[in-house]
Amino acid sequence: MARILIRVNEEQVAEPIAAQIIIEYKVPMVILSAHINNKGGEILVEFPDDMETKIADAFRRRGVTVTIPKLIQVNTEKCFSCGTCIALCPVEAINIDKNDTVQFNKEKCLGNTCSICVDACPARAIKSLKTNNNDRDQNRKKKT
Ligand code: SF4
Ligand code: SF4
């Protein structure tokens, strides 16, 4: 499944943009997380891999900013296997294997729309990966 993070502004937040795209492209889209208020916000959506370009472009054509969500990375040198991140992760994307090493499941992770584990780790062993600059370039191109 493909995931994209869409950012809507104050004007777009009241528009049924996602619903229109679901209907137009007959795409089975799942909203994984949403942080929105009347000023705008971010929505993480998931849909079949083979529709990624088509759906991302559909959002961009409607003026919505689209990025690939940042994932997290665990520094196993710093981690002391306390289990805090495992207990707090809302989607069970982290576990500890039989060697006491943290294992991270990127398919499940909600990325930087969540970041609960990043903030909670007492060893500062978890960080968000860098933003994909190509996404910004693509957004710019679509607007011109
Ligand atoms: S960022 Fe959120 S979803 Fe991803 S591993 Fe951390 S707590 Fe779990
Ligand atoms: S919260 Fe930090 S130190 Fe604790 S298990 Fe997770 S990564 Fe390791």
Tell me how far the alpha carbon of residue 140 lies from the centroid of ligand 1, in angstroms.
29
Which fold does the domain 2-69+131-143 belong to in CATH? Answer: Alpha-Beta Plaits (3.30.70)
Provide CATH code, domain 72-128.
Answer: 3.30.70.20
Query: How far is it, in rounded angstroms, from Cα 9 to Cα 128?
Result: 24
Task: Indicate whether this model's pTM tops 0.75.
Answer: no
Q: CATH 3.30.70.20: which residues of the chain?
A: 72-128
Give DSSP secondary structure letters for 92-105. Answer: --EEE-TTS-EEE-
* Residue of 79, 89, 113, 124 with the most ligand 1 atoms within 8 Å of its CB, for mutation: 89
Query: How far is it, in rounded angstroms, from Cα 95 to Cα 131?
Result: 25
Q: CATH 3.30.70.260: which residues of the chain?
A: 2-69+131-143
- The one-digit pLDDT tens for each residue of the chain (144 residues) are 888 999 999 999 989 999 999 999 999 999 988 888 999 998 999 999 899 899 999 999 999 999 887 778 889 899 999 999 999 999 999 998 988 889 888 888 888 778 899 999 999 999 987 544 444 445 545 444
Two tokens, residue 9: 């502004």
Pairing type for strands 126-128 and 72-74 reads antiparallel
Two tokens, residue 111: 């990325």
